[in-house]
Structures are given as structure tokens and as C-alpha cells.
Chain A
Amino acid sequence: MVSLYAILASSFNLLIGYAGLFALSHAAFFGVGAYATAILAAKFGVPFPWPMLAGIAITAVLGVVIALPALRIGGDYLVIVTLALQIIVTAVLLNWTDLTGGTDGIRAIPRVELAGAKLDTPGTFLPLALVVAAICFAIAWRLGASPFGRALKAMRENEAATQAIGKNIVAMKLSVFAIAAALASVAGSLYAHYVTFVSAEGFTVELTIYLLAMVIVGGTGNLVGSLVGALILAVLPELLKFVDMPSDIADKVRQMLYGLLLIVMLRLRPQGLLPESASAHHYHAPPERPPVDTQVVAAALEGRGLERWFGGIVAVAGLDITIEPGRITGLIGPNGAGKTTAFNLLTGFLQPDRGEVRYRGRSLNGLKPHQIVHQGVARSFQDLKLFTGLTVLENVLVALPRQRGDQLLYVYFAPWLVRREERDNLARAMAILEFVGLGARAADLAADLSYAEEKLLVVARLLATGAEALLFDEPLSGLAPNALAKILPLFKRLAGSGRTLCIIEHNLDVIRELCDRVVFLDEGRKLAEGSSEDLMHDPELSERYFK
């Protein structure tokens, strides 16, 4: 049973700990897997391992279906949707009597027969359970340790920023749901063969909470922790056997202990026995560094007649903007002028109600943010949105473009390619960090950076996406003069290398120092455009700016 719990807890950890998707339907996936095996094996006599494979397919599809509403919503809503799935599955198991045996469940599920031997004692079943559990754990482990797993953690930290570095979070959520569900179903199949009897009572929400306790005790985001958690929580109830009490009471007391353990653990050590950082990967970058500010051929990013309404309020009204390559364009204007909305329109975070965005001769309308990054246009956020739970190096690594390690096909079937690519990427990421002056902090958590360092990391992460048109939302606000003196030359070098740069900025000294062209926005309209000198000497604009 510990093997089964190990599979369940580690796959559950992929969802909660890595992807940050708090789904309460793991018992349902487990149950569907168990019933799939029970029905195929007991009623149709299908031999092992085919029922297990069928169960994998069914639950993976179920996982994708339940992930669909989760694409648009998060947090509490995901909890309620997955809880609803749990209830539905229980209802189906109890009421579709012809197929599932209703409240009686399904009995006399055949044992597994391997090489003519019937695995009908715990001793003979154990090797099979261990092997399958090891395979499942390896699958979960590869996923967690791969670039894909890194991207999942980034998504957990911040979804918008993960899109902004070019990741398709829709595909990521669907895949991780499918894999976690499929692994749970494998455990279900083993369970059915082992216990030879399934009924709906074995797959209730209480089981999910039990698994949750394992994950929390072991440590979220740490798969070895889940093994430890599964071991502890499976052994713990055995100790209760020494206390003399009727079995139904003992069962309840056991569950009370799980609940109590959960609360106490969260109070005293919320990161679990084995915290995530204990499994953080130590990267050793090769010594050679590819150059960072090489010449690139960028193009102008153009917005034509962009218009966007929120309710009855127009945020951007007929904006024409051209951001030329090899220069720094400043976007200025009072608060609420529509600067950030303009960024959102240019990078696909908002679709314009009217107008068009063009880059390299093609329209970007209708593209998702991550697709626009692939076209070569990326943006940063005013509130930084760093992946604070990841290291500085990981923040940059995760943003590097076109990683094979983001595709599960490569992760599982061509790991050597992923490894080789990862080596190159490490060198690139280190080069970028050294370029912005954060080389020494590579191994530190992004959460531990100073404010100025955070701003530098924002630049590094955006640069890592490989996009040539970079839009910075207030990259310099709140910086002290000596920090400014370090970061300003970076922007100049980037523009000098041919990149297309646009920054939103309030500090007029910085604008004068940095920007070749300035676009003045107010009330969603472009009021003026020109060199920074011209605009600053325009009395009407200063009037509006300082009103």
C-alpha cells in the first residue's frame, strides 16, 4: 500500500507543489483508474496490463476535461470545480449500477498473473508494486527536474509573467493534469488487482485530504518529500493498532490524526519536512560564455488606430505608435493615461477593440501573449512579477526560448538532447546575468534580491526571451542615482545592438538621458511625439504633465 500511496502522493505533488494547481479530485482519478481495471478485468476478462493502460487513457482524458475550466480560473474556483468532479465521479460509481455494481462495488477482480505465477499474496505482489511505483516516480521525477518542471514552478509563482516569457500555460496545465491523473489511475489499477474489490467508499474526498497530508508533511514541490510523507502517514495508523478500541472508532481516530497533523504541520513547518530548496538543482555552467549584446536585426513595432474600452471608459483611443529599431522610445504621460494598456495591447495581453499591431510585416492581432513573444516582441511588468520562489539563474533559464525541455516528448524520449541543450542554455543564462551584473547572485533565491537587483533581473529575464523588441514598463522607477548609473548603460547597449526598445518612465531626467524619441500619452490619445528636448520645452505638455 505504501507503493500505491507513494505514486498518489508524488503525482498529487506535481499538481499542487509544482504547478500550484490546487485540485481536490485526486481520489476521483484514483477511483476511475481502479474501476476501469475492475470492470475490464472482472467483467470482460482482459488480462494485465491492458486494463491499466486503458485506465491511463481514460483518466488522462478526464484530467484534460477537468482542466478546461481551470484554464480561465484559479484558486478557489479550481477547488470547487475539482470538488464537483469528485462528487460527480462518486455519483456515477454509486448510480450507474449496470456498469459499476452501484453500492455493492465490484468483487472478485482477478489477480495479476505474470509468467504463469499468480501474484496473490502481499509478498508476491510487492515486487510488481515496487517496480510500477518506481517507474511512476521516475516519470514524475523527470517531469519535475526538467525544464518543463521549472516552467511549471514559474507558472505557480506568476501566470502572467510565465506567458510573458513565451510559455503556453494552457498546454502546460493540460499536460500536467493529464499526467498527474494518469499516474493516479495506475495506482488505482494496482489497487484493484491487489485488493480484488472496489467500492465507491474507497475513493472519497477524505482520501484526497489524506494524500494532501502526505504532500504537506513531506514538503510541497519536493517529490522525495512525498515519498517520506507517504511512508510516515501509512505507518502512523499501524501504531494505533496497539491501542485497544473498536475498529470503526480507530478508523475515525486515524482520520482525526491526519487532520490534526495537517494543521500542526502548517503551523510549525509549512514548507514540510523536506523543503523545496532541498531538492533545488545545483547548476554548473560551463566556462565559455556566448556574447549577449550581439547585433540583431530588429524591426519597427507598429500600432495602428489602437482602441480599447473598459465598460464605458475608453483607455486607449485611436493610438498610432511606431517604435523604431535601434532606438529607445519613451512612453510618457500622467497616471491613467493608458500607457500600460498600450503595452497590454501591443503584447497580446489585451486584444484591441479596433486597430492593428504589426511587427515584421505581419499582424499580431489575435495572437496569444506567448505567441507574440515567439514573434519577437516581449514585455516586462510594472510590478516586476519575478518568480520569487526560483533562483536568480532559474528566472533567466526558464525564459530562454525554444527549449526542447519544455516539450514532454523530448523530456521522456530524448533526454540526452535536453541535457545537451540545457548545458548551452546554462552558459547563455550565466552570460546574460553577467551582462546585467548579477552573475554573483545566480544561486540565490529571487526573493532575496534587493530592489535594484530585482530591476536588473527583470531586464535579464526579458533579454533571455530572445525577443528583439523589448517593452519595459517602468524599469527604472524608484531607483537611487547610483543604481540608475549602473542600469542606464545597459539600455543604451541594447539599443546600440539594434534592438527595438520602448520604456514607460516618469523621471524626466532619465527620459532626457535615455530616449531618442518620446511619445506623450494622455487620456488614451497620443498628444505629441518628438525628441525629448522638443517635448520638454512644450509648455502645454508640461502643464498637462504636472497638473
Chain B
Amino acid sequence: MDLLAQLVINGLVNGSHYALLGLAFAVIFGTTRITHFAFGPIYALSAYGCWFAAATLSAPLWLAVVAGIATGALAGALTYLVVYRPFEREGSPPLVILIASLGLFILLENAIGVVFGTDTKVVPAPPSGVFLWGPLVITSAQLAQIAALVLVAGALGAYLTRTRFGKAVLAMTDNPEMARVIGIDTLRVSVVAFALGSAIAAVPACLILVKDGATAHMGFIAVFMAFVAVVVGGVGSLRGAVAGGLALGLVESTGMAKIPTEWQNSIAFVLLFVVLLVRPRGLFGGR
């Protein structure tokens, strides 16, 4: 029983990570319907931005995280304006944009490797506390992970429902065609969605940097997990993306009790497979 409770806690911690990724991906995918594979390297780039600020400019960690988030937001917005926007203007079919995003993925991933080298980047971790709660163990880093999800999701929710512009973003997630018809400036919303989504993704990127370090290849698994979280949760639903991410973490963690660690990605695959077969629209998918 204690073991199960501990696994659930671990699952929630990892799930928060996936949920943040899923949320970030959903903000971009939901509003623009662009299958943004370059999400992965931009996520990696944010971690490198944070590392650069902390290690080279010796900024304090909180400032470095801000730098990482800014890097992500800037890179995300630029990606949209420089790469995707011209395709959209020409009315390219979604598949063409998807292929372009794969090209961008491989371009950016290798560019990071060329510029920063292939070694793993680390920053000195802040002193970590361990809390005991009965027989259960939870570290301050893990708490930070959950707190990050709560904070980001809360702030995003408030932004989307309280502000005028946030509502425009939400409207576009719901129905891009209709949003255009009622006169929402879809260009601005798209740029903001890319900046916002990439900034959100920068948060888990910085957390991973502190925990495990950053590599140029860290983006692939991130965009995969983000995508799975969105599909499991249901395309077009931000809440679904969070739920999908948490479900992913929980299934992975409880599954790990029986299965060796190196197979954990396979668990995500099985979950994806089952969800697609049973509920192709995802857990929170509408209609």
C-alpha cells in the first residue's frame, strides 16, 4: 500500500512534467493546428538559454530560469513568423507544414549541437530538502515540479478566461475558422500562442536542466510526450492535455512497479495505443 502511494506520488511528479509539456503543445497546436515538431529543439534551446545565463553569465538561478523562458518565447514566436507563417500565407496543406516542421526539427537540433557542443550541460542544483510524510518520501525538487504545474496552469487559465486577448486565443482553440470570421486577428493570436506555448515548455525544460542536465537531443522525447499527452487527453482541450499528461505519469509510474525502468517509454506507447483504439477522440475529446 505504501509502495503504491509512493508510486502515485512519483507518477504525479512525472505527470506534472508531462502535463506542462502537453499544455504547452496544446496551446500551440490547438490555436494554430500546426503539428509543431520543432517544439522539441525549442524546448531544448530554452534549457540551454537557462544554462548559458547560469553557467556563463553566472546569473542567479531564478534569473537564469527567466532567461530560459524568454529564450523559449522569443524562439517560438520567431519560428512561427519566419517558417510557418509564409506557408500559411500560401495556403499550404497541413501535411506540408508538418514536413516543414520536421525539417526545422532536425535543423535546430543539430544547430544546438554545433553551437554548444554535444556534452551534457549542468547547473549547480540548489540544496534539496527531503520531506517525510509518514512512510512517503518527497523531495523539494519534486514539490517544485508539481508547484510549477499548478502555478503555470493557474496563471494560464486566468489569462485565457479573464483577459480580452486570452479569450480570443481560447476562441481560436475552439474553432479557428469561426474566430477568423468574427474578426479575431489570427496572426497576432498565432504569434502569441507560439510565444506562450514555448514559454510554458521552457519551465519543464529548466526543471530538467537542474535535475538531469540538458542535451541537444532532449527535445525529441519531449515533443513526443507532449503529443501523446494531447492525444490521450483529447485534441483541442487544454484541460485534456493536463489530464493526459498526469495520466501518462501515473500509468508510467505504477507500471514501473512491474516493468524495468528502461521500458518506460513503451508504457506511454501502450497507453496511446489503447486510447486511440477505444476512444479515438481522447479522454476529453468533444463530439
Interface residues of A (CB under 8 A from B): 22, 24, 69, 72-73, 75-77, 79-81, 83-85, 87-88, 91, 94-95, 205-206, 209, 212-213, 216, 248-249, 252-253, 255-256, 258-263, 266-267, 270
* Bound CA–CA A79/B86 (angstroms): 23
User: B262–A94 contact, CB under 8 A?
Assistant: yes
CB distance from B53 to the nearest CB of A (A): 24
User: A260–B107 contact, CB under 8 A?
Assistant: yes
Which B residues from 76 to 107 make CB contacts under 8 A with A?
83, 86-87, 92, 94-96, 98-100, 102-107
User: B102–A262 contact, CB under 8 A?
Assistant: yes
User: B276–A69 contact, CB under 8 A?
Assistant: yes
Chain A residues closer than 8 Å to B98, beta-carbon distance: 22, 76, 79
Q: A94-B262, A266-B96 are in contact. Are A81 and B273 (CB under 8 A)?
A: yes
The one of A69, A75, A213, A252 that contacts B277, using a Cβ cutoff of 8 Å:
A69
The B interface, classified by DSSP as helix, strand, loop or mixed, is helix
Which B residues from 83 to 135 make CB contacts under 8 A with A?
83, 86-87, 92, 94-96, 98-100, 102-111, 113-114, 118
* Bound CA–CA A206/B220 (angstroms): 10
The one of B113, B228, B263, B277 that contacts A80, using a Cβ cutoff of 8 Å:
B228
User: B107–A76 contact, CB under 8 A?
Assistant: no
The 7 A-B residue pairs with the shortest CB-CB distance, nearest first, are A259-B107, A262-B103, A259-B106, A252-B110, A84-B269, A259-B103, A255-B110
In the complex, B176 has a CB within 8 A of chain A: no
CB distance from A310 to the nearest CB of B (A): 10
CB distance from A518 to the nearest CB of B (A): 33
Chain B residues closer than 8 Å to A91, beta-carbon distance: 262-263, 265-266
User: B92–A79 contact, CB under 8 A?
Assistant: no
In the complex, B231 has a CB within 8 A of chain A: yes
User: A95–B262 contact, CB under 8 A?
Assistant: yes
Chain A residues closer than 8 Å to B95, beta-carbon distance: 22, 75
User: A262–B272 contact, CB under 8 A?
Assistant: no
Chain A residues closer than 8 Å to B220, beta-carbon distance: 205
User: B114–A249 contact, CB under 8 A?
Assistant: yes
Chain A residues closer than 8 Å to B266, beta-carbon distance: 87-88, 91
Interface Cβ pair total, 8 Å cutoff? 116
The one of B99, B102, B114, B221 that contacts A253, using a Cβ cutoff of 8 Å:
B114
* Bound CA–CA A258/B113 (angstroms): 15
Complex A-B: 5 CB contacts under 8 Å: A80-B228, A88-B265, A205-B220, A256-B106, A266-B99
Chain A residues closer than 8 Å to B263, beta-carbon distance: 91, 95
Chain A residues closer than 8 Å to B224, beta-carbon distance: 80, 83-84, 87
Chain B residues closer than 8 Å to A256, beta-carbon distance: 106-107, 110-111, 114
User: A206–B35 contact, CB under 8 A?
Assistant: no
* Bound CA–CA A451/B269 (angstroms): 46
Chain A residues closer than 8 Å to B105, beta-carbon distance: 209, 259
Q: A80-B228, A91-B262 are in contact. Are A209 and B103 (CB under 8 A)?
A: yes
In the complex, B166 has a CB within 8 A of chain A: no
User: A88–B269 contact, CB under 8 A?
Assistant: yes
Select from chain A the residue with minimum beta-carbon distance to B82.
A263
User: A209–B102 contact, CB under 8 A?
Assistant: yes
Which B residues from 212 to 258 make CB contacts under 8 A with A?
220-221, 224, 227-228, 231, 235
CB distance from A381 to the nearest CB of B (A): 20
The one of A84, A205, A212, A249 that contacts B228, using a Cβ cutoff of 8 Å:
A84
The one of B87, B114, B280 that contacts A267, using a Cβ cutoff of 8 Å:
B87
Q: A22-B98, A262-B100 are in contact. Are A80 and B110 (CB under 8 A)?
A: no
In the complex, B47 has a CB within 8 A of chain A: no
* Bound CA–CA A59/B110 (angstroms): 30
* Bound CA–CA A22/B94 (angstroms): 11
User: B106–A209 contact, CB under 8 A?
Assistant: yes
In the complex, B268 has a CB within 8 A of chain A: yes
Chain B residues closer than 8 Å to A262, beta-carbon distance: 99-100, 102-103, 106
Residue among B86, B94, B103, B276 with the most chain A CB within 10 A?
A: B103
Q: A249-B114, A270-B96 are in contact. Are A83 and B227 (CB under 8 A)?
A: yes
Chain A residues closer than 8 Å to B113, beta-carbon distance: 252
Chain A residues closer than 8 Å to B235, beta-carbon distance: 76
* Bound CA–CA A450/B25 (angstroms): 41
Chain A residues closer than 8 Å to B268, beta-carbon distance: 84
CB distance from B4 to the nearest CB of A (A): 25
Residue among B100, B104, B105, B227 with the most chain A CB within 10 A?
A: B100
User: B276–A263 contact, CB under 8 A?
Assistant: no
Select from chain A the residue with minimum beta-carbon distance to B216.
A252
CB distance from B180 to the nearest CB of A (A): 21
